[in-house]
Each structure stands twice: as structure tokens, then as C-alpha cells.
Structure 1
Amino acid sequence: MTHFENENKSDSNEDIHSEHKNEEVHRDAHKEHSEHKSHKESHPVKGKKLKFDMWKVATGVLALILVVTLISSFTSGPDTISKEEAGVNMVQFVNTNLLQGQAVAKLESVTEEGGLYNVKLTISGQEVDSYVTKDGEIFFPQGIKVNEYGNEAASSDAQQQAPADVPKSDKPVVELFVMSHCPYGTQAEKGILPVVNLLGDKIDFQLKFVYYAMHGKTEVDEQMRQVCINNEQTDKYNDYLACFLEAGEAKPCLTSAEINTDKLDLCVTKLDAQYKITENFNDKSTWLSGNYPLFNVHKADNEKYGVGGSPTLVINGEQANSARSPAAYLATICAAFNDQPKECTESTGVSTETYQPGFGYEVGAATAASCG
């Protein structure tokens, strides 16, 4: 069963790399996710897929589809354009036609490679290698190096299967730090929640929040709501969270999880006053780097473990790496037991699929991306 620990310290870490410069961009991105109803992993899911997720091209087939369809009209003839012009055109094309406000691409460099221009972009702090023909007519969102593909695929499979080397204990303490509306945080929550339900009280699981928010007032309010549900109506929290992760809407999930809203509202009011959450939100002079409002409920643990972004997994007091499928989280957590329970060795039907980033339970591509 999950629980929150409320601790308060004030100083913020200034060494955070931002995912986006504009919180409104984040909110627009998350609104593209589906409307929700069910909240169990095993239930049929009806959510919509992400509007466009070109940066997780995983196979040659998808790459070929994108190559055929993403043909731009930057020039009208076969003449070669300069590297500089290609870079400017690609950034404009990606931001206008592909990302459409979900994120902002920035140009890093343009070089010649294999008869093409290699256009390096950064999106949400992640470097992306894309390519364009020298006439600027055909854009390749991702290149696959044929002679390296097999080794990379094998390495990826091994990473999914091999549990991290984590400290062991009789009852592992598992802490997951997220932002409630970070697409990679919600991806991690969807992957780990079935494992939390499976292992039950054999682990001490604590869902906590990163000490700053990147997705506006909506995120700040939701995190206060979740802290209070988990603190005061703990037995209903997992049901609420599973529902919320389907579409990011609180109201229907409060109903389906049978949350006492009067009790919840009172708790939120007290929590807000204790940590000055709304007060700090309204005072931008307190924001991290002037960009992100503080959320200090779990500030002390953020500092203790060096948490810098969402998601961050901590097991037995040390940061741990894990792929984000339920099966991968199960393997990682089970590696932290001195003596593994039968759930670690006898459980069947634990999904090896990774859910898509953001809200909704559609299968997506494995990623190590984060917010922050």
C-alpha cells in the first residue's frame, strides 16, 4: 500500500535542465491524450493514442512510412540548398507540422553524411538525429544505421530484461518521484502500479513528487489532491491513480474510487497552507530558475536522493535504473530482496509491454526520457 511522507525544506536545486520553456506547451501536449473510463491494467482500454510521436520511431517499417508521408515543400526544384537553409527549414517544418505545440525543437548542427544533411535537433532536452535530402524535399525523422541495428536491438532487449544492481533488504523501500502530468512520469506509474499491487505489503512503496512543477497550476493542484488521498484515504489511492492515468481527469476518478471529497478538500486546504503551494505559485520570484513553481511536500527527500526530474526511481535509498514495463519493474524490485517472495518467481501474465508516455494505456515505445 502506498503512502506519502510530508517533509519541508525551502532551498531549491538550481542545476536542473528544463524540459520546456513554456508551461502552456506542456498543458497543450497532455490535452492530446484520451478521455478515460476504466482504471485496471487488465481491463480493456479505450483511450486515444498520442496525436503524434515521431521521435520514438522503433522500426524500419515505421521509418519507411514516415519517409513516404513526411515530404515537405521547402524548395520547388532539384537544386541543392545550403546546410544553413536546410537547418532553418527543418526546424520550422518540425515545429509547425509535427510537434504542433507539443514541444519545441531547436537546431544544434547540420553536417553532410551519406549524401544527406544530418540535422541534429534537441527536443525536451533529448538530442535527435534527423536527415534531409540535399534539395530539402524529403525529410527523414530518424536514420537507422543498418550495420549497427542488430547490436543496438540486442542491447535494448538485454537492458529490458536485466535488473539493476540495487541494495538488498528484507522489505525493499521503493520510492518513485514523478510530476503528475509529466508524460514520462505517468509512463513509469503505469508500469510500476501493477507491480505494487502484486507485491502488496512485501514492499514499502512510496509515490512522491518532484520538488518543482513543469506543467502549470493543473499539475500543482493534482499533486496536492494525490498527496491528500494517499495520506488520508490510502486504501482508495491505487484505484484513483490507475483511473487518473487513463486520461488525466480527476473528477470522474474521485467518483469511481469513492473518495470522500469533503475530507479531501479540507486536507488540500491545510496542505496548501502548510507548504505555501498556491502562494508560491502566485509569486514567480520563488520559482525555480524563474520558470517552475515549487512543490515542496517531498523536498527533503528530493535533496536526499539528488532527484532532478520525473521519473526518478529510488530503491533502498539509492537511485536505480529500470525499463518501464511491469515485467521490468518487477525484475528490478525483486532484485532488491534478500529472499525473493513467490510473487517474484512464480507470477505469470506480468506484461512485458511498455505503455505509451502520457495518459492512456496504449502500448508505446520503450524510452529513458524524463521531464527536467
Structure 2
Amino acid sequence: MSKNSKEEKIAETKEVTKTKEPTTKSTLKMNYKVFAALLFVGGMAIGLLAGMLLTPNSTSASSTQNSNTNNFIQSILNLGSASTQSMNSQEAGDKAIDFITTNLLGPGISAELVSIEELNGGSLYKLELNISDGSSSQVAESYITSDGEYIFPQGIPTGEFAALKKAAEEEQNKQQEQEMEAIPKTEKPEVKLFIMAYCPYGLQAMKAAVPVYELLDGKADMTINFVSYAMHGKKELDENLRIYCIQEEQKEVFLNYMACFTESDDYKSCLDETNVDKTKLDSCIARVDGEYNVTNMYNDKSTWASGRFPMFYVEKEDNEAYGVQGSPTMVINGKIVSVSRSPEAYKEAICSAFTTPPAECNETLSNNPASPGFGGGTGTASTGGCAN
């Protein structure tokens, strides 16, 4: 893969997440190597759980996902060569220390058993471990099953986890309500969804938007629009032109085409299936391409954004007016709005922009976010995007 291709891939999937962890004086004084060891041992269970909660579902990955989930319910790490007999506390502690020291800790870091407690009628042991590099140390908790088959680097209090999850969802809902309250109200809202045709998150947004656009057709002025540069090569420029022209000149088949394309990634079949007038489409594409120099700028790399991404200036003025930076970006009545990428969330956002919402706004659509990329299914309420 070329350097430019790697940079494009990095830019495409760029998504910044900021996490704040509480700090204490004892933590700050702790030797770095010991702290790193604790993060590794204590954080592994959280990391595995978070990975399964946050990874979008897909048809191809569903069986693996279910298997991983079932395995997690049973255990975090398999110790191997397990005995069918229950071990006493000393044997369990020795086995846990040996496994952690051998597999989880780096050179110069040791683990020492401080105490061990029997839980759940003897089926589980809770251990207190002293993690040390010789000059500083810290106590950590771990768990091991009584047969020695599985070790849990850290316990996750289910009640606390559920409470935190609920609080996060409530905060997200509150932020979305505030977003919608700030949208200016009009009799016929203007909705613009800026995307790149092959951006996975742009496709996710389009799949969520199509049923809303169908529901509110004629009630709001809703369009698919385009970011002023492309990150997925010439095919993206071509598809941007194709979508633009079908929407511009053949609106009666536009939403059907979008539903087909985002599902199949096969524009040729979709043109046939949705009865697009290809002669009319080709004429429009040639005209718009010439007017905005799409192909000419693609062939002149000196015009590319950051020297890597070809420009698509068909809607440059709107990009500049609304401050569009990447795909997807939803603009309602001139305001950028960020909500969950589900049909229902998009419907609620648009309906909040009506001075007097129409009856269609009372209809409930799917609350499940669409999956990123092509295909059906549901994913997560992703905030990912494609941006330079």
C-alpha cells in the first residue's frame, strides 16, 4: 500500500475520543511500570466487554460476536489444563499468580498474593494481589474459578455498570433534546445531508435518512448533498455525480435508487431496477462535470486537498456557508445537527424544525441506528465520520 493510500485510510476513519480518568496522589506517585501493569491486568476485562458492546453488528460477524459474548459470560481468560476438581485457596492463589506473572506482567514486574477469599459457595475465589517492581507497588483485585479453569483480571459490578450505562444514555438524550430545541423553526424545514458516496458513515447516515425522507416527502425540503472533496478515489466522484443528477432530474426514482445503492453497492443493477433514464442521466453528468471541472481537477493533483483528496466543488458554496468539514453532516434550517443515526432520531430532529409538525411526525420509525457501510442490519449510534 502506498504512503498516500495509508494516509487516506487513516484520515477516512479518523475519530477522536477523549476519556478522563480520576487521579489520586497515590496514583501519581506510583512507579510508571507498576501503573502500566495494573492497567493491563485490571483493564483487560473492561476492554473485552467494551469491545463487544461497541463493535457494530454485521451479518458476517454475527456468529463470531455471539460466540465471543457467550465466552465472556463464562470467563475472561482461559488458564488451560484445568482440573475437574475444585482447588483449595492456596492452590488457586498459586495458579493465579503463576498465570498472571507468566502471561500478563512485563520484565521486572512481580505479583504476590496478599489474601484470598471464597465467594459464591466456593465456586469462585477473590484475590488481592500486590503488583510491584521492587521500588513501588499497588494492590489489585482479581478472581479465579475454583477449578482453576478461568481467571478474571477484574470484577465488573453489574449494578454499577448498568447505572453508568443508563446515565450515559440519559446524558446523550439530553444533549439531543438540546440540539433539537436550538434548531430554528419554519413552516417547511430545509434539510441537507452532506455525505461522500463511499464513506461508511455517510452510507450509514443515508440509510437512516431514506425512510425519513420517504415519510416527510413534500412536507420538508430534504436533499442529499456532497462534501467538497472526495476521500475514496474516482469512483466516489463518479457516484457523487450520479446521485446528484438523479436527485436533480429524476426525483421520482431517487429514493428508490438510494435505498438500492446503499444496500448493494451495485449502481449498475440499481439503475436498471429503479428505472433510471440512463440517457438523461449521462447528459446531466456530462454537463455538471464540465461546469464544475470535476474530472479536470481529478487529473490535476495540484488542486487536491492536502495533496491527497480530489475536489468536488458542485456544492462548494453550501459547504462554506454551513462550515461542512466531513461526511456525514446534517444541516437543518441552516444549523448543523448531530443526533443518533437512526431513522427515528433523524425524524425527531427534522420534525422539531417545523413551526407546526405534520401528522406524519407522530409515526414511529426504527430506533436502531443503521450499520456503517453497505448492506442492511443495524449498528451503533456512531459518531464516526470521514474527514480530512
The answer to whether TM tops 0.5 is yes
The letter of the residue matching 1:154 is E
Matched, 1:197 2:214: yes
Q: Is the 8 A contact 1:195 1:326 kept in 2?
A: yes
Matched, 1:187 2:187: no
- 1:23 deviates by 5.5
| 1:178-200 residue CA offsets vs partner (Å, 9 max, x unmatched) | 11111111111111111111111
Distance 1:357 1:291 in 2: 24
Which residue number corresponds to residue 58 of structure 2? 49
Distance 1:289 1:236 in 2: 36
- 1:156 deviates by 3.8
Secondary structure of the equivalent of 1:272?
helix
Distance 1:287 1:64 in 2: 47
Distance 1:235 1:113 in 2: 67
Distance 2:211 2:372 in 1: 16
Secondary structure of the equivalent of 1:21?
helix
- Superposed, 1:131-142 pairs within 5 Å as none
Which residue number corresponds to residue 242 of structure 1? 259
- 1:295 deviates by 0.4
Structure with greater Cα Rg: 2
Unpaired runs of 5+ in structure 1?
Answer: 1-17, 28-47, 84-111, 117-137
Which residue number corresponds to residue 152 of structure 1? 168
For residues 67 and 217 of structure 1, do their structure 2 counterparts lie closer, same or farther at Cα, with a shift above 3 Å needed?
farther
For residues 163 and 113 of structure 1, do their structure 2 counterparts lie closer, same or farther at Cα, with a shift above 3 Å needed?
farther
Equivalent residue for 1:353, pick from 368, 376, 379? 368
Distance 2:6 2:260 in 1: 27
Secondary structure of the equivalent of 2:242?
helix
Equivalent residue for 2:294, pick from 277, 282, 306? 277
Q: Is the 8 A contact 1:214 1:292 kept in 2?
A: yes
Distance 2:246 2:265 in 1: 16
Equivalent residue for 2:105, pick from 53, 69, 80? 80
Secondary structure of the equivalent of 2:344?
helix
- 1:81 deviates by 2.5
Q: Is the 8 A contact 1:159 1:323 kept in 2?
A: no
The letter of the residue matching 1:148 is L
Q: Is the 8 A contact 1:163 1:335 kept in 2?
A: no
Which residue number corresponds to residue 274 of structure 2? 257
- 1:262 deviates by 1.7
Q: Is the 8 A contact 1:162 1:331 kept in 2?
A: no
- Superposed, 1:286-297 pairs within 5 Å as 286-297=303-314
Equivalent residue for 2:223, pick from 206, 220, 231? 206
- 1:261 deviates by 1.1
The letter of the residue matching 2:277 is N
Q: Is the 8 A contact 2:58 2:379 kept in 1?
A: no
Deviates more, 1:61-70 or 1:247-256: 61-70
Q: Is the 8 A contact 1:19 1:371 kept in 2?
A: no
Distance 2:289 2:60 in 1: 34
Which residue number corresponds to residue 64 of structure 1? 72
Secondary structure of the equivalent of 2:326?
coil
Q: Is the 8 A contact 1:167 1:316 kept in 2?
A: yes
Matched, 1:169 2:222: no
For residues 301 and 70 of structure 1, do their structure 2 counterparts lie closer, same or farther at Cα, with a shift above 3 Å needed?
farther
- 1:77 deviates by 4.0
- 1:26 deviates by 6.5
Which residue number corresponds to residue 21 of structure 1? 7
Distance 2:327 2:220 in 1: 21
For residues 62 and 251 of structure 1, do their structure 2 counterparts lie closer, same or farther at Cα, with a shift above 3 Å needed?
farther
Q: How many residues align?
A: 276
Q: Is the 8 A contact 1:70 1:139 kept in 2?
A: no
- 1:49 deviates by 2.7
The letter of the residue matching 1:370 is G
Distance 1:177 1:272 in 2: 19
- 1:150 deviates by 3.6
Deviates more, 1:161-170 or 1:327-336: 161-170
Q: Select the structure that is richer in helix.
A: 2
Which residue number corresponds to residue 329 of structure 2? 312
- 1:291 deviates by 1.2
Equivalent residue for 1:219, pick from 236, 241, 246? 236
For residues 61 and 19 of structure 1, do their structure 2 counterparts lie closer, same or farther at Cα, with a shift above 3 Å needed?
farther
Unpaired runs of 5+ in structure 2?
Answer: 14-56, 80-99, 109-136, 142-151
For residues 236 and 62 of structure 1, do their structure 2 counterparts lie closer, same or farther at Cα, with a shift above 3 Å needed?
farther
Secondary structure of the equivalent of 2:103?
coil
- 1:161 deviates by 7.0
